[in-house]
Amino acid sequence: MGAALHQVTATGPDGRWLRGAVLATVLAGFVAPIAAGLWQTGRAAFGILPAIGASAPSLDAWQGLLAVPGLATAVRHSLVTGLGATILSLAIALGFSAIIHARMSARKSARALAPFLAVPHAAMAIGLAFLLSPSGWVARLLAPFAGWEAPPDIASVNDALGLSLTLGLVVKELPFLLLVILTALTQIPVARQMAAGRALGYGHGIVWAKVILPQVWPLIRLPVLVVLAYSLSVVDMAMILGPSNPPTLAVLLTRLFFAPDIQMLLPASAGAILQLGLVVLAFAGLLLAEAIARYTGRWWLRRGGRGLSWEPILASMTALALALAAIGALAILTLAFWSVAWRWPWPLLLPESWSAQAWISAGGGFGRALKATLVLAFATTALSLVLAIAWLEGEDRYDGKRAGWAEALIYLPLLVPQIAFLFGLNLLFLKAGFNGGIALAIWAQVLFVFPYVMITLSDPWRAMDPRLDHAAAALGAGPWRRLFRIKLPVLLAPVATAAAVGIAVSVAQYLPTLFMGAGRIATLTTEAVTLSSASDRRITAVYASLQAALPFLAYTLAIAVPAYIHRHRRDLRGGA
């Protein structure tokens, strides 16, 4: 009878139709546009761009790209900062997780990491620039000991080696990887396997490296690839923290795409294909490293080695993680301080006088940017939530099986460099008569918001006890009634968390808003990045503080609203 009831509740034409509709939406709205954008960018890279009179295939675009001053250095900057930040973030996250996994559940870790996950990349970069600049807090703390009577002449930000950009990427990506790893550990019997390894005489670190890590890696491979793709092609953080002349490749291409000379669109398109090639090459390198590690790891396992100790390495990774968390917290705090500082002479640690004048004088500008940011955030998050719930509900109604190949398509926008297809996509819309606008910006942001919403919501949704749905079906409730009366109320907290993640991702979007909005949509992110090179830190801090405050508010509501609505259930459990 139970099997028959499951058949009634989980399969049927309604589930097949819903699943097919969502898959068609993903193919038409995600995969096809990305492929079309890459095709258009590729055509322009090989000399075909009729809009500017280029109609014959040629290699002139590549010759023009090679003639761009500093191209080789820009590629080197991208590789050094992107690969370096990814490797450092992953190593520190794995080492820190090995120490704290037994003391911190996935839910507790999500709440602890929420402040760092919520801060947009651009806001964090601006805060770090204020913190690490020659007149920032770090220099002010060192001034009495170093004897600096004036800010030192040190390139601590926008340095030629890309150290500040690498640090900024690590500070932002470390919390994400920590959350991913700690969540993956919930699917492995870590405590039992650690106890068995220790009983055989192996140290804590060796058991982690030989037994736990090989099981964790397949679960976090995709998120690591996402981090690697982002780090290699980031634009907003690289504009604020990275080398400036020449910059990283992605920043250089952005300048070429928006250069006054439209003929530069051809070498810019060639550069976008080069950027895609770098990411693909990095992916191949990572997979090759995985294959080598698998081969050498088996040899290492067979060799034994109980006398080895990894505890010093894990301890150093833990210390680095805590230090980076402190740096991130200070970067966020310095935004708030600068937004209300009036006079802050060197080398005082706190402003000499305070004022809200920066907020008042910037009010008109940030009011419009705030409105555009909120419209984009609410629209993209709502659309992404509807699509994610429809995907998961269709999965439940059809047969409960996950279509791995189809689910992989969702994450495609996170793996392809934005600059590689956004220009080509913009060309297609211009040909169709759409010259930017809020609707196109919303759709472009959904490309990147929806995958993160799915990542956040899919595991809690699939972990829900199916007996609740079966019991409701046995009482005569139809599939839509069960969705709205059973599933969504039970999953209110995960849905709220997914909404908060969606808002945070939307607020942080820079290139999609810039390209698809044709430069006419001013959001807090686009304005903050533009102002980051200006001389007035107070106005910049106002925009960056607002940009950081919106995701903070979203995460706070995601925790508070479900807790308030379910307060009586919590009380009943406590009383029992």
Over residues 522-567, the pLDDT tens digits come to 899 999 898 887 767 888 889 999 999 999 999 889 888 888 887 7
- Whether 576 maps to a domain, the answer reads no
Residues 6+ apart with CB under 8 A from 39: 424
- Whether 575 maps to a domain, the answer reads no
Phi and psi torsions of 336, nearest 5°:
-65, -40
> Are 315 and 413 found together in one domain?
no
> Are 330 and 372 found together in one domain?
no
Q: What is the pLDDT of residues 3-45, one digit of tens each?
A: 444 444 444 556 677 777 878 888 888 888 889 899 999 999 9
Q: 10 Å Cβ neighbour count for 461?
A: 22
Give the whole-angstrom CA distance, residue 322 versus residue 96. Answer: 9
Q: Say what the pLDDT of residue 132 is.
A: 92
**Numbers of helices and strands, H then E, in the chain:** 30, 2
Indicate the residue among 355, 381, 412 that finishes a domain.
Answer: 355
- Whether 574 maps to a domain, the answer reads no
Residues 6+ apart with CB under 8 A from 564: none
Structure tokens at 199: 């009983």
- Whether 253 maps to a domain, the answer reads yes
Q: Are 506 and 551 in contact (CB under 8 A)?
A: no
- Whether 331 maps to a domain, the answer reads yes
> Are 501 and 534 found together in one domain?
yes
Residue 498: which of 463, 453, 459 has the closest Cα?
453
Phi and psi torsions of 124, nearest 5°:
-65, -40
> Are 393 and 442 found together in one domain?
yes
Q: What is the pLDDT of residues 498-526, one digit of tens each?
A: 999 999 999 999 989 988 887 788 899 99
> Are 162 and 180 found together in one domain?
yes
> Are 319 and 401 found together in one domain?
no
- Whether 100 maps to a domain, the answer reads yes
Indicate the residue among 308, 324, 355 that finishes a domain.
Answer: 355
> Are 21 and 102 found together in one domain?
no
CATH of the domain at 562: 1.10.3720.10
> Are 363 and 351 found together in one domain?
no
Q: Say what the pLDDT of residue 364 is.
A: 61
Residue with tokens 């945070």: 504
pTM of the entire predicted model: 0.90
- Whether 572 maps to a domain, the answer reads no
Indicate the residue among 299, 326, 355 that finishes a domain.
Answer: 355
> Are 141 and 73 found together in one domain?
yes
> Are 234 and 90 found together in one domain?
yes
Structural domain for 330, as ranges: 60-355
> Are 43 and 153 found together in one domain?
no
Q: Say what the pLDDT of residue 177 is.
A: 92
Query: Domains in the chain: how many in total?
Result: 2
Q: What is the pLDDT of residues 254-303, one digit of tens each?
A: 999 988 888 899 999 999 999 999 999 999 999 999 999 888 888 777 77
Q: Is the peptide bond before 562 cis (omega within 30 degrees of 0)?
A: no
Residue 529: which of 124, 246, 79 has the closest Cα?
124
- Whether 573 maps to a domain, the answer reads no
> Are 276 and 391 found together in one domain?
no
| Residue ranges, the chain, pLDDT below 70 | 1-15, 102-110, 304-309, 362-364, 398-405, 436, 535, 568-576
Distance of alpha carbon 523 from its chain centroid, rounded?
Answer: 18
